[in-house]
Amino acid sequence: MTLIEPIGTLPPSTEAAGFVPRDAEDAIARHLLRPLLFADRETVLLAGFDGYARLVGLECAEGDASGRCVIAPTCWNRLLAQRVETVLMAHNHPSGIARPSDADIRCTREAHALLRLIGIDLIDHLIFVESGHFSFRHARLV
């Protein structure tokens, strides 16, 4: 998996290519991740899957008063202790804007680099809003 380094802001075609309408979401997005995200504050979910694509770990980091989420090392430790082979990151934007922020892009790069060092694939990072979600994979950013 190669992380493409975006320069500046996302071009409109990349942003549009990365958006998945709510009615087109797959079962994992619709039934597993979306119900765990709150409308009033940002929440980050880390889902870990084994070699057979079975969910073996799920960690949650909730945002603080500033609305910013920080993934604590203990979240990563608990998830990686489950012997995961792939990780799916997801979070919500209570603002309703699915476009990834610079902080979202930076966080995805850092998570990808960390996981790559230990032989684990970051399969996607999803940003949920009411109308659907943005997929870093569909936008070709992971």
**Number of structural domains, the chain?**
1
In a domain, 2, yes or no: no
What percent of the chain has pLDDT above 70? 85
Chain centroid to Cα 104, Å, comes to 9
Strands, E, within the chain: which ranges?
19-21, 43-49, 55-62, 86-92, 121-129, 132-135
Q: What is the pLDDT of residues 84-122, one digit of tens each?
A: 999 999 999 998 999 998 889 988 999 999 999 999 999
In a domain, 6, yes or no: no
Say how far apart CA 127 and CA 112 lie, in whole Å. Answer: 16
Q: Helix, strand, or coil here: 53?
A: coil
In a domain, 4, yes or no: no
Q: What is the pLDDT of residues 63-83, one digit of tens each?
A: 655 556 678 899 999 999 999
Q: What is the CATH number of the domain that holds 119?
A: 3.40.140.10
Return the amino acid letter for 119.
G
pTM: 0.85
Tokens of 120: 């684990």
Structural domain range at position 79? 12-135
